[in-house]
Structures are given as C-alpha cells and as structure tokens.
Amino acid sequence: MDPSSLARGAVRKEPGGRLGVALCYPNAERLAMANLGFHAVYRLFNDDPSTRCERVFLTEDGSPPRSVESGRPLAEFDVVAFSLSFEDDFIHLLELLERAGLPLRAADRDGRHPLVVAGGIAMQINPEPVAPFLDAVLIGEGEELVPPFLAWLRGQAGRPRPDLLRELARLPGAYVPGLYRVEYADTRAGAGWVTRFEPQQGAPARVARRFVADLSKVPTSRVIESPDAQFGDLFLTEVARGCLWGCRFCAAGFVQRPYREVDLETLRAEVKKGIAAGQRVGLVGPDTSDHSGLDPLTCFIGEQGGSFSPSSLRVDAITPLLAGRMAAGGERSITLAPEAGTPRMREVINKDFSDDRIVQAAADALQAGMINVKLYFMCGLPTETDEDVLGMARLAVRIREEVMAPRAKVTKRMGRITLSVNPFIPKPWTPFQWQPMHARRCLEGKRRLLERELRPLGIDVDFMSPREAAMQALLSRGDRRCADLLELAHREFEGDLGRALRRWPHDPDFFVLREAAVEEQLPWDFIDHGLTKAFLAREQRRGLGARITPKCEVESCRACGLACADHPELKTGLRGELLAALRGPGGT
C-alpha cells in the first residue's frame, strides 16, 4: 500500500523483524475511528520501536481481512488484538476470525496461529460470553497493560503455546480463559449460577484490573485524522476517567473508578493541536462537567479561536455561561440526560435534581441561541411505574410550552424536542446487576404510552427495540454458554442471534428476566475491580428505597472498597456480609 494514501497520523513501519500486531475493531472503520480508546491503544503499540501495529476493520464486502497500513492478511500477524467496547460486536469478532481462516475457538489454535487477545471496556465488564474464542483478555487500561505485555511477549519466541499461555496468566491484568474450569447451574432450574470457577496450572483465582493511578500528565487524544469517521469533525481529547456520582445503572461509572482528571496545562496543549488543525474540540469523559478546570479550559478554547463539544454534561452543570460558550461554538442542540421521568425515580438511580432544574437547563441553552432539545431516558428501571413513564412526557411538554413556545414567538422558529428512550439493561458491576430486565411486552406498553402522549404534540419518541435490548442484556450478563449461541448464530443463521436462540439449549430468561440472589457467584466475579459486593448490594438496597448516595470523596472515602488492599477483610464477599448489607441496621 502506498504510504501517501494513509490518513494523517497513521503509522507505517517496515517489518524488519518487528512483532506484528493487528489491532482489530470488529465493526466499520468509521465507528472504530470515533473510539478514543482505539486511538490510544494504536499509539501505545506503535510507541514500541520493536512493534508494528496495523489496523483491521470489518468490511461490508465479505473479503478476507487485511490491515489498512500494509494490506497484510490478518492471519499473518503475530498477535491479533481485538478492541471491544460493545456487546453488539461480539458476533463480528467471530466473523473476522472466520474470514481470516483462523479457528474460532482458542482450544483449536496452536503455534501456527497468532495469539488472539482482547481488551476494552466490554472486557472489563464481562468477557465470559466471548472467553472461549480468546487466548487471553487484558483487563484494564492500555497504558498499564500494553508495555508490559509487549515486553513479556518479546521473550517468548519459540515457546510451545501451552507454556506461553501459562506464563501469560501470571502477567498482572491478564486473564487466560483456557486455564479455568467453569461449571454452571442448569438455566431451566431457575436458581443459582456459577457452581465452579477453578483456576488451573497456577492461574490466579482473581484477575486485578490495571489502571493508571495518576492521569494528570497522561494525554489521550485522537491520533489519526479520519474525516469520514463518526464525529470526524472533532478533535477528541480525554479530560477524565471514572465518575464521581455512582449512577446505579452505569457500569463504566463503577469499573473505571476512581475518578481521575487530566490536568489543565496538559489539556491546553492538546486542544491547541485540534484548533491548529481547524477542528472543533471534543471533550471526552464519563461526565465532563466534573472536571475542576472545565471553566478555564472552555474559556481557553474560545480565546484560541476554537469551539468545543462535550461528550456528557450533568443537567445541573449546564449554566447560562457554559451554554453560551457552546452556542457560540456552533452547537444548535442541547442534549440533556434526566434518565428518569420523576424525582423519585431519579433518586432510585442516584440522580439528585428536580424537574425544574431540567427545564431551566433547557431554557439556558435556548436563551443562549440553541434551537433543539434532545432528552435521554431509560424505561423499565427497578420500581418504575406508569406514573414515572408519564413523567418523561410531562417534562417534554413543560419544555415545549414553558421554554420553546415563548422563544418561538421571538425568533419565529420552533425547534424540535426528541426523546431517546432505551430500556434499562442490567449491567455487571453495578448495584443493579442482580435486577431483572422488564419483559418485552411490558416495555412495548411503555413505548405506546409515551407515543400516545407525545406524538399528537409533534414530539418525537425514538425508542430502542425491546428485542435488541433483551439480546444486549443476554450478552451483558451472559456466561460462557453464550459462546455456543454466538457460534451457532454465526455458522447457521448469518449472525442472527434471535433465530439461533430457538436452537440454543439454554433459557435466555435466566440471564435477562431473572432476579439473581446477591449471594450467588456471578460469572464476572473473578475480576477484581477493587469494589466489594457488600458495597454494591448496599447501593442496590438504597436504590430500591429511593435514597441518594452522595458523590465520591476521592481523597477520603473508601466505602466502595478501592482501598481494600489495606483492609483484606473487606474483600471477603461472604454470604453473611452480603445479606447483612442488604438487611441494613435493624435487620430490615
């Protein structure tokens, strides 16, 4: 491939005895290049002079996968490294392996085949549905995983594959699924889950997530310019990892703890690169409004002649000043995420702001010059009633009547309100990991209720398919038996998991619609995120009681267990501890 045809920032190295790593995103290139984590890992691999990392994507033409940088076939690399952010891409992992002519199952590969590994946020949450297809999973953040993985790999040339995998399992953060004997309860029995999770041949009983303790001087920005990528007009740069607020449905907010910021001077240097390239700056983080330097940073961007777009802002962080800066930079729509329709329901999920504050945030944005409002909600949350669902409609109507209609009389232009509503999907490592998802019929009823209220008013409702949401829940809370479903769908049903379910011998309702007991061993319990089950169980109890837990005090609070290396007794996870946490004081 002609190096001049590569996008700016892509790395082209001659082989020269270098270790060949194929960094695979099992979806379209435009989606991959919008993923900041993918950029970060690409840079980390290529920072090593003895490594040649090239990108591989899933193409629509069905052709054998080849790298973008040199056109090298996937099967000819030493390492095939998958970046997995979403459960929807699990089926595409199999398609890439199949097209490359590689055995799907790790147990069927030998020394003739590349080492197949995976990382990414989906693997931090629960790798088990795809574990049988992977030689290893690297759990945690790339800065702490990639350099030691490459240093270890350089000393393994010529070793038999079984020996290599045994040694890899000793690397901090590395999980080798083939070294664990796993057994499960029958899904048709309706109770219990993991009956055996037994490490073999010296593999660790638990795999500790690796993370960067001090992020202040660690810049992570878009490496390759890809105008055709989703958000291709944005220079993406990370402002923080983790989250302070502990929303009880959000896996990323728990598995990426503790909250860490990139310092202001580092960010200023990064955003100047984007502005110099003539791009808007995309500020990336689970909650960008938490950054202590957000105000001076956004001022700096404006002073430099740039504009910005934050990936996420809390409703109560949107001020007239911030809204004005966003509008001045070209933003025409404000996106608000109340998540739930009533104050009580927001307390269930640990969001502490009123209906009035949501309406005021919309008013501040429209007063600043924005036109449209998009509202993100979830439905089917634990304890939700029809009154909570109707609360979503009432909020939308209030914004329309109290904010948009009066503005339209002045501007002669009526903007649009759109509700984006997703069914609640229980995620591992959240306080609601034990909760069931609402049944499809129930969710369809909630959708009809919203549409009946809002469509006559011209307010759009974009409702995620309950069928697709249930499939995501199955893969989110799944165990290794889901690998059989994925392979069945891939081989016989052109990737259609719904059709494959009819031939799968297990009950999907076990994973999706069943409330798990807090004392059960869960498939993902072997990962050590530093969180205790007692803490998550206590948060579940507080959520079901609609009680707010204050945001993290990173310097002093250790309630979740992240300082438990100093207190090993907090990590026991014993049945009695969990039940006591659920009962609370007084045994209720």
With a cut of 70, say whether residue 583 has pLDDT above it.
Answer: no
Instruction: Please give the C-alpha separations between residue 103 and each of 24, 75, 91, in angstroms, as whole numbers.
Output: 16, 10, 15
Give me the percent of the chain exceeding a pLDDT of 90.
85
Q: Assess whether 171 and 232 both reside in one domain.
A: no
With a cut of 50, say whether residue 511 has pLDDT above it.
Answer: yes
Give me the percent of the chain exceeding a pLDDT of 70.
94
Q: How confident is the model at residue 561 (pLDDT cuts 50, 70, 90)?
A: confident
Query: Which residue, 282, 312, 342, sits at the end of a domain?
Result: 312
Q: Are strands 333-339 and 180-184 parallel, antiparallel or unpaired?
A: unpaired
Q: Tell me the CATH number at 338.
A: 3.30.750.200
Q: How confident is the model at residue 563 (pLDDT cuts 50, 70, 90)?
A: low
Q: Is residue 404 part of a domain?
A: yes
With a cut of 70, say whether residue 14 has pLDDT above it.
Answer: yes
Q: Assess whether 24 and 63 both reside in one domain.
A: yes
More confident residue, 229 or 111: 111
Q: Assess whether 270 and 180 both reside in one domain.
A: no
- Give the angle 161-133-209 at the CA atoms, nearest 5°: 85
Q: For residue 119, what are the β-bridge partners?
A: 83
Conformation bin of residue 345: beta by default, left when phi > 0, alpha when psi is -120 to 50: alpha
Q: Assess whether 201 and 223 both reside in one domain.
A: no
- pLDDT at residue 569 in the model: 33
With a cut of 60, say whether residue 573 has pLDDT above it.
Answer: no
Q: Assess whether 135 and 257 both reside in one domain.
A: no
Question: What is the residue type of 520?
Answer: E
pLDDT tens digits along 453-485: 999 999 999 999 999 999 999 999 999 999 999
* Structural domains in the chain (count): 4
Q: Is residue 487 part of a domain?
A: no
Q: Tell me the CATH number at 254.
A: 3.30.750
Q: Assess whether 405 and 269 both reside in one domain.
A: no
Torsion of CA 388, 478, 521, 532, to 10 degrees: -60
With a cut of 70, say whether residue 340 has pLDDT above it.
Answer: yes
- pLDDT at residue 417 in the model: 96
Q: Is residue 318 part of a domain?
A: no
Q: Is residue 221 part of a domain?
A: yes
Longest dimension (CA), the chain: 75
With a cut of 90, say whether residue 572 has pLDDT above it.
Answer: no
- pLDDT at residue 5 in the model: 52
- pLDDT at residue 585 in the model: 35
Q: Is residue 228 part of a domain?
A: yes
Q: Assess whether 217 and 361 both reside in one domain.
A: no
Q: Assess whether 179 and 34 both reside in one domain.
A: yes
Q: Who contacts 452 (Cβ-Cβ below 8 Å, separation ≥6)?
A: none
Q: How confident is the model at residue 565 (pLDDT cuts 50, 70, 90)?
A: very low
Token readout for 167 is: 């040694």
pLDDT tens digits along 72-98: 999 999 999 999 999 999 999 999 999
Q: How confident is the model at residue 17 (pLDDT cuts 50, 70, 90)?
A: confident
CB 476 within 8 A of CB 125: yes
- pLDDT at residue 146 in the model: 98
With a cut of 90, say whether residue 329 has pLDDT above it.
Answer: no
- pLDDT at residue 155 in the model: 82
- Helix segments in 186-241, DSSP class H: none
Tokens 């997703």, located at residue: 422
- Which residue range is the domain that position 436 belongs to? 333-477
Q: Assess whether 77 and 171 both reside in one domain.
A: yes
Q: Assess whether 150 and 200 both reside in one domain.
A: yes
pLDDT tens digits along 29-70: 999 999 999 999 999 999 999 999 999 999 999 999 999 999
With a cut of 70, say whether residue 249 has pLDDT above it.
Answer: yes
Q: Is residue 159 part of a domain?
A: yes
More confident residue, 586 or 411: 411
If you average pLDDT over residues 182-211, what whole number do you get? Answer: 94
DSSP for 231-287, please give it.
TTTEEEEE-EES-SS--TT-HHHHHTPSPEE--HHHHHHHHHHHHHTT-EEEEESTT
pLDDT tens digits along 122-137: 999 999 999 999 999 9
Q: Is residue 506 part of a domain?
A: no
Q: Is residue 407 part of a domain?
A: yes
If you average pLDDT over residues 440-447, what whole number do you get? Answer: 97
With a cut of 50, say whether residue 377 has pLDDT above it.
Answer: yes
Q: Assess whether 359 and 300 both reside in one domain.
A: no
Query: Which residue, 312, 343, 363, sits at the end of a domain?
Result: 312
Q: Assess whether 220 and 175 both reside in one domain.
A: no
With a cut of 70, say whether residue 584 has pLDDT above it.
Answer: no
If you average pLDDT over residues 159-163, what whole number do you get? Answer: 94
Question: What is the residue type of 336?
Answer: L
Query: Which residue, 460, 477, 494, sits at the end of a domain?
Result: 477
